[in-house]
Structure 1
Amino acid sequence: MKGLFSLFLLVCLPLFPLKSECVKGNCRIGSGTYQFNNGSTYKGQFYKGVPHGKGVMNMKNGDRYEGAFSRGQKHGEGKYYFRSGNKYIGQFKKDKIEGKGRMDYSNKDVYKGSWSDNKPHGKGRIEFASGKSVEGLWRNGKLVRKWKTENNNSVLNSSIKRTYKDCNKNYCHNESGKFTYRDGSYYIGDFTDGNAQGKGTCYYANGDIYEGGWKNHGPNGRGIITFTSGRKYSAIWKNGKPVEQVYDDGKQSLASNSRYRKAADGKVDMYAIVIGISAYDHMPALKYTDDDAYQLYAFLKSPEGGALPDNHITLLVDEIATRQNIRTSMQNVFGKADQDDVVIMYYSGHGLQGRFLPIDFDGYNNSLSHREIYDLLDQSAAKHKVLIADACYAGSLESEKGTFYSSLENFYNKIDESDGGTAIMMSSRAQEKSLEYSGLRQGVFSHFLLRGMKGEADTNSDEIVSIAELFRYIYNGVRRYTDKRQSPTIAGNYDKNMPLAMIR
């Protein structure tokens, strides 16, 4: 089993070296054969000059991929033949083995199950050439919980031994049953009026197990979650989130020192911190929060978003978005602002009542309180302060050259002309969850935030998107898209005409 996970660096090879040529067909839009100067070849469908559709890639190192491509990357169903003799058949996503699949190893071992980031992750089964097999839960390529072995057919949870009524196909009422979710997670427990509701157990695709009250497809009431690491977290849950007070480390707020205030220098500058966290270890993983952060970062670097230079914007995504890194970035970035300037903080990730959860939140420690963030905003010398939060319970924050440069100058002049203040724009009310939708491939709030800042919110056609215009656009869009299940809010003492974006 030792050699099981030592081969995946071969999967993600660059598709396009600096020099290469189309040797046959149409390699722009159509079908053709592309020869790379490193010896690799691709034969198949193209769109806008990159592999897109069905195709075959023969790597210089002897590996071979047959299957679906999307925008130049292996994406969808495919087969990957390694020069070592290993063969993978299954799903790919953004050039990585991701989803359901089977790996046949050259030593005759076979793994079948879930994958993530080129490694077994989730439910899976390894069948050894010796005839033995192990079934269980995997985490980053490691077996963290056994369910079955050849010599021991015992199962950790006796409920799995039973055969339950399939409540995906049948109507279940006042009885026990099983409901399987699209990501592979499944719930076993009580059902009422066709809905999973009452006491039960949810086996998450990532290996976590929750036992306790269940409602609206999430933990509700008293329950305990056991993470793949072995750590347990007990809480009172509501709508899928823990709502009891979590551990507070009692550390002093960053903003307690007034030395961060700076005098005006007569020039308007904008500073921003953009945070996106999806790959939590001790909370259910989120799908699009990191992508939301990257997209907002790219917009703020663009002319329409203010053309922020590198030393005016900090991006913290996933593993670098620790509590300490967020605190340090807040201190460094907000500390640069003077009384003419604008500071913007964007956070997309998990939230609890009264706090955000950095990547190193372990169920008890390393949360980041709203009070701490608000204190720092309050202490900052910046004329305009904007906090944008796309998180569950965010509402609890309430307790061309000439054309380009002339437009950009107008944008900053508008900022200078407006009155100062602090605006806190939140993705949902205090008691609501913030929603993600696969159809958008974004959080709903962040989707409309970006669309609005790119110009759709400019209702008076003055080529400037004010904070009032932006909020109205987001509010109407989110409420409409979620059928009124999510209601963005805004609070603070701010000038409603404060510009947040411009239109070229």
Structure 2
Amino acid sequence: MQWAFLVGINEYNDKNYAKLNYCIDDVRALGALLEQVGYVPVCLHDRLNLRDPRFPDKKNILAELDMLLKQVKDNDLLFIYFACHGCRTENDKPILIAADTRKIHVETTGISVQDDLEPRIRQSQAQQKILMLDACFMGQGRGGDQQDPMAFLRRVNAMASGYEVIAASSENQESLESSGLKHSIFCHFVLQGLAGAADLGQNIIMLSSLKSYVLDGIAEYTVRLSLEQEPQGRSTGNLGDFILVDYEKHPRPKLDAISAETSVSVDEVVN
């Protein structure tokens, strides 16, 4: 079995965290695509009713993840994706911001990669595990200190053991979102890659080919549009390469039916 746990958060109770534009669209499109190629998706986003158990506050995120992990078996693949704000605490812990996270108590009200996600991923019975983070930074950390998004990624990668990480981040999140794509640029290339662009002619999408396609695609895209900051991504892990999508078992997904137009002009980039 292939399982996908997807979290997308546009709006936050704490107005210290600015509204994002396409996190919900990202995870809904990704969930629809993955379902077409055989995954069982669990999708949490803040367009759901506050009382829905999949509304992405901290307790729901962890409860839904725990429920999914109880179903995962030892030959399964686990795919986890977060599209939201991110930060580091004063003691260097990477935190993902839930809908109900309070900045003044971010370490206890946010989703700690180290304390909340890492133990669950490592203890999961899944044979193959991948964590994708599209974590957006507004440039201000606790106490007004400047946040370094690459330090966030390095810290996440340093903790990764027994699973793979693909992450993209920017100090100014708006440069990584496009009104033309109707997705973050990171998610756009993930969707394109899984839909077939990362197929190296073998009718499968390998983890390594998706990583290369996404990171190279973001780099080329931002250079072409003369965006100020370079895309930033890292990958790590010790599981070796593995198949994410097998087109011999499932037809290629119809991306045009579940995603926005893929063409974009410079003027359409949100900035």
CA displacement at 1:360 relative to structure 2: 0.5
Moved over 2 A (4+): 431-434
Supply the distance in 2 between the matched residues of 1:489 and 1:361 (Cα, whole angstroms): 26
Deviation at 1:472, TM superposition (A): 0.4
Q: 1:313–1:333: 8 Å Cα contact kept in structure 2?
A: no
Counterpart in the other structure of 1:439: 180
Aligned ranges 1:91-110 → 2 under 5 Å: none
In structure 1, distance between residues paired with 2:130 and 2:31: 15
1:403-422 matched pairs, under 5 angstroms: 421-422=162-163
Q: Percent identity?
A: 27
1:488 and 2:233 are equivalent in the alignment: yes
Q: Is the 8 Å Cα contact of residues 433 and 486 (structure 1) preserved in structure 2?
A: no
User: Comparing 377-386 with 361-370, which one deviates more in the overlay?
Assistant: 361-370
Count of aligned pairs between the two proteins:
206
1:276 aligns with 2:17: no
In structure 2, what is the equivalent of residue 381 of structure 1? 125
**1:397 corresponds to which residue?**
156
Which of 332, 341, 353 in structure 1 is aligned with 2:76? Answer: 341
Q: Find the partner of 1:286 among 20, 45, 50.
A: 20
1:281 is displaced (CA, Å) by 2.9
- CA deviations on 1:160-188 (whole Å, 9 max, x unpaired) are xxxxxxxxxxxxxxxxxxxxxxxxxxxxx
What secondary structure is seen at the aligned counterpart in 1 of 2:232? coil
Uncovered stretches (5+) of structure 2, i.e. residues with no partner: 89-93, 137-148, 224-228, 252-271
Counterpart position of 1:473 = 213
1:500 aligns with 2:244: yes
Aligned positions of 1:120-135 closer than 5 A: none
Higher strand share: 1
CA pair 455-379 structure 1, distance change in 2 beyond 3 A: same
The answer for the alignment partner of 1:425 in structure 2 is 166
Q: What displacement does 1:494 show?
A: 2.0
> 2:254 maps to which residue?
none
Q: Aligned equivalents of 2:171 and 2:194: distance in 1? A: 24
Matches within 5 A, 1:182-201: none
Q: Please, what is the CA RMSD of the aligned residues? A: 1.8
Distance 1:325 1:281 in 2: 15
> Pick from 301, 316, 330: which aligns with 2:65?
330
Cα distance in 2, alignment partners of residues 287 and 270 from structure 1? 28
In structure 1, how many angstroms separate the alpha carbons of the residues matched to 2:104 and 2:238? 33
Structure 1 residue identity aligned to 2:97: L
CA contact (8 A) 1:391 1:433 kept: no
1:133-282 to structure 2, matched below 5 A, reads 269-282=1-14
Name the SS for the 1:349 alignment partner.
Answer: strand
Residue 29 (structure 2) aligns with: 295
Aligned partners of 1:361, 1:477: CA distance in 2, in Å?
Answer: 32
- After TM superposition, give the deviation of residue 478 of structure 1 in Å: 0.5
Structure ID, larger Rg: 1
Which amino acid in structure 1 is aligned with residue 181 of structure 2?
L
Which residues of structure 1 form unaligned runs of 5+?
1-268, 400-420
Tell me how far apart the structure 2 counterparts of residues 433 and 487 of structure 1 sit (CA, whole Å). Answer: 12
Relative contact order higher in (CA < 8 Å, ≥ 6 apart): 2
Q: How far apart are the structure 1 equivalents of 2:171 and 2:130? A: 21
1:457 and 2:180 correspond:
no
Distance 1:485 1:333 in 2: 35
AA partner of residue 369 (structure 1): S
1:370 aligns with 2:110: no
SS in 2 for 1:287: coil
| 1:21-40 matched pairs, under 5 angstroms | none
**Shift, 1:362, TM fit:** 2.2
Instruction: Report which of the two has the higher share of helix.
Output: 2
Deviations 1:273-317 (A, max 9, x none): 111000223210000010001000101111xx22x3xxx431100
Deviation at residue 441 of structure 1 after TM alignment = 1.7
> In the alignment, what sits opposite 1:221?
none
Q: Given the superposition, is the C-alpha separation of residues 378 and 433 from structure 1 closer, same or farther in structure 2, using an over 3 Å criterion?
A: farther
Corresponding residue for residue 101 of structure 1? none
Aligned to 1:314: 42
Q: Which amino acid aligns with 2:29?
A: Q
